[in-house]
Amino acid sequence: MNFAATLGFGLPLGIGLAAIGSGIGIGFMGKGAMEAMGRQPEILPKLQVAMIIGFGFAEALTIYAFVTMFFLQGRIG
């Protein structure tokens, strides 16, 4: 099997898949946070902090894929 071609095909696909996962995660989190904000506007600051932290964790997964892509990018040739 052609290593470079496989890599060239797989890397973007992998990032896309990771992005789907992160997107779903962040979407759920945003939905929950919005609903909570609508119900109880007074907890806004605390909610925002927790939300941003959660976003960070969810987003990190895509970033890992992204960093992996950078590391393997040179080998696509």
Partner 1 sequence: MIAAVLTALILPKHPYAALALAAGQLLSALNFFFLEKLVKLFTHATVTRREGGSGSLPGRFFAFAGLKVTLVYGAVAALTLTRWVEPLPFLGGFSLPLLALFLKSLMLAFGSGPNSLVRRATKTAATSGNVAKPAALLLILALFVVHGAALASDAVPPSGTAAATGTHGATEAHGAAGTAQPAEHAAAKSEGGAQHLPNWVILLNDYFPHNPVVHWLHENEVLVFAWLSGLVFLLIAWIAMRRPKPVPGQLQNALEWIVESLDDVCGGLLGSHKERYIIFISALFFYILTINLLGIIPGFMSATSSLDLTLALALITFAYVQFWGIRNLGILGYLDHLAGSPRDPIGFAMLPVMVPVHILGELAKPVSLSCRLFGNIFGEDTLIVVFVGATALLLKASLAALAVPPMLGISALFMMLQTLTAIVQALIFSLLATVYLYMMLPHEEHAHGETEPAHS
Q: Report residue 10 as tokens.
A: 């797989």
Q: Report residue 16 as tokens.
A: 């896309």
Q: What share of the chain is helix, strand, coil (3-state, %, to 5)?
A: 90, 0, 10
Q: How many residues bind partner 1 (CB under 8 A)?
A: 20
Query: Which residue lies nearer to partner 1 by CB, 30 or 59?
Result: 59
Instruction: Note whether 9 binds partner 1 by CB under 8 A.
Output: no
* Positions that interact with partner 1 (CB under 8 A): 45-46, 49-50, 52-53, 55-56, 59-60, 63-64, 66-67, 70-71, 73-75, 77
